[in-house]
Structure 1
Amino acid sequence: MDFLQGATRRLTSLLQQPPTGPRLQILSDVHLEVGEQYRTFTFPATAPFLILAGDTGYLSHYDGYLAFLKAQVTRFERVFLVLGNHEFYKGSYEETIEAAQRLEREPALQGKVVLLHRRRWDYDGDDENLRGLTILGCTLWSALPDDSREMVQLAVSDFKHIRDWTAQRHHDTHLEEAAWLRGEVERVAGEEKRRQVLVVTHHAPSRRGSRTRTRRGARGSMLTRPSWWTEGVVVVVGEVAGGEGVGVWAHALLGRLCAAGDQGVCEPEGVRAPEQHGREEGEGAAGGQGGEEAAWV
């Protein structure tokens, strides 16, 4: 426990932007598919490592997505990519995973992009602020209780825009990824060398601490119901982040910091789309201009 407290203090100090500057910059939910902004969107680079925590754009827009990542590898030493639910739009689950794996291998990205799809990455460089860092990443699809699945499938756009995606498969994938996370955290905790663990997911591990949003229509009312996406995910908090092993949990999708284990950081709103493209204030791509409100670790 002393080690965990020490690791948490070190990770928390990075959140406070030490004199050396932040080491990890987190950006999510920029939705570059809106207005096809892949080649035009920019934001300040303030750390050597960039974490894209999902909903960067559609991977079916492969060339545009690649162009965006090409711009980032010229500005960052490493780019970590977590897939959000919108990455899968206009394709199937399998096609999207294959496209993401192909992106990671693109010669133009110089080996700097790390796909965090149920994957562990260990830092082995010389930066003392990052020494001993382990990053665990996956989408962490949300849990869907039995009594909500039919309504969710009818109302949530994921099931309209991801080919062959069903509420049952959504829930089953959540169970797989939650089990993977638990196993990896336990594995790291059991190793002789002590490490700082940063978990990065697109979906949040808990709705606890989130800001409730009011949206019109059936989908909006469902997003305020804990049963829509948090039951079952809370188990991850209780058994993984709430126990030993996790220093910081970074995620997207919620409106503000969500406590997860010892520390949580959430950067859910990215940047404002050009003229909002008909979106309501606070929906989809919204937030600060030019990415100033990105989170740092």
Structure 2
Amino acid sequence: MGPVSFQILSDLHLETHPSYKSFEFAQTASYLALLGDICHVANDQLFSFLETQLERYTIVFFVLGNHDPYHLSFKVAKTKMLDFQTRMNKRSLLGKFVFLDQTRHDVTKDLTVLGCTLFSRISPRQEFAIESRMIDFRDILRWTVDDHNEAHESDLKWLNAQVSTISKDEPNRRIVVFTHHGPSVNKRCIDPKHIDSEVSSGFTTDLSLEECWTNSAVVAWAYGHTHYNCAFTDSHGKAVISNQKGYRLIPANRFDPGRVFKFGE
């Protein structure tokens, strides 16, 4: 089988007026990956938007971002997404919905998607600034810095284990990783004006020594959250991708909703 084509979008922030009515994009691939901060799960318009995409795509992959659970607990937001997945996947005329929450999905016999939110690892030095300035800790119900860091460790442990197991047991299988938070502090991933930000560890984590980053079975990693876009091949031969819309009045650089990314052989 030849390469598999994906559209990869994140940080649409459709909750910001009037994005629901104004944001449209063409279908240019069979698979759509929505990598977080699409809209608040508490808003029924999110599910209307997703159902529309299921009428167009063979598979819609969805990762929760940090904004999506606002006004809910993270647990309740996940439950609502799982309930939507169950309902949609009973409807034979729609594409398949795949909620990526420590989830493996085999796209073909030799290409796998691994996905999770991968909250960042907040450093003790930046904890006060991040807790004060990031509204996650007010708008996600009962969510603390400790919860954030524990979620990061859980997702990272799962990713490392999955990549290790797949590469050993299925050496011909290639892996694409989808997360919301950033996995790299490579300068090509970071907006130059935020290089020395005192809240940088709230956005991205240096995974350069982790197996999920260094293993050659991983051919691509796409993410969101930073509102800074990139597409390059790193020293491991892995495609590193971010295609984020950003806020309507503060758009991210080089966002292209119709861009096609091809993975596999």
Q: Alpha-carbon deviations, 1:62-89, whole Å to 9, x = none? A: x211110111111111101111111111
Structure richer in strand, relative to its length? 2
Runs of 4+ in 1 over 6 A off after TM superposition: none
TM-score relative to the length of structure 2 = 0.84
1:177 is aligned to 2:155: yes
Superposed displacement of residue 184, structure 1: 0.5
User: Conserved in 1, the CA contact under 8 Å of 2:57 and 2:95?
Assistant: no
> Which of 164, 173, 176 is residue 142 of structure 2 equivalent to?
164
Flag the structure with larger Rg.
Answer: 1
Amino acid at match of 1:243: N
The SS at the match of 1:91 is: coil
Quick check: 241-250 or 137-146, which moved more?
A: 241-250
User: Conserved in 2, the CA contact under 8 Å of 1:150 and 1:167?
Assistant: no
> Which of 221, 224, 237 is residue 249 of structure 1 equivalent to?
221
Counterpart in the other structure of 2:198: 222
Q: Alpha-carbon deviations, 1:193-232, whole Å to 9, x = none? A: 62110011111111212232547xxxx9434x4x4444xx
Superposed displacement of residue 160, structure 1: 1.7
> Which of 59, 74, 97 is residue 78 of structure 1 equivalent to?
59
User: Conserved in 1, the CA contact under 8 Å of 2:163 and 2:215?
Assistant: no
Q: Distance in 1 between matches of 2:183 and 2:102?
A: 15
Structure richer in helix, relative to its length? 1
Q: Alpha-carbon deviations, 1:9-31, whole Å to 9, x = none? A: x8xxx5xxxxxxx6111111111
What does residue range 255-266 of structure 1 map to in structure 2 within 5 Å?
255-257=228-230, 261-266=236-241
Show structure 1 runs of 5+ residues with no match.
1-9, 15-21, 125-130
TM-score relative to the length of structure 1 = 0.76
User: Conserved in 2, the CA contact under 8 Å of 1:241 and 1:262?
Assistant: no
User: Conserved in 2, the CA contact under 8 Å of 1:24 and 1:296?
Assistant: yes
Kindly, what percent of the aligned residue pairs are identical? Answer: 28
Counterpart in the other structure of 1:133: 111
Q: Distance in 2 between matches of 1:25 and 1:269?
A: 12
Show structure 2 runs of 5+ residues with no match.
none
Quick check: 245-254 or 182-191, which moved more?
A: 245-254
Counterpart in the other structure of 2:87: 106
User: Conserved in 2, the CA contact under 8 Å of 1:266 and 1:295?
Assistant: no
Matched residue count: 253
Counterpart in the other structure of 1:144: 122
Q: CA RMSD in A?
A: 2.6
1:53 is aligned to 2:35: yes
Counterpart in the other structure of 2:17: 35
1:210 is aligned to 2:189: yes
Q: Distance in 2 between matches of 1:92 and 1:162?
A: 6
Q: Distance in 2 between matches of 1:190 and 1:57?
A: 38
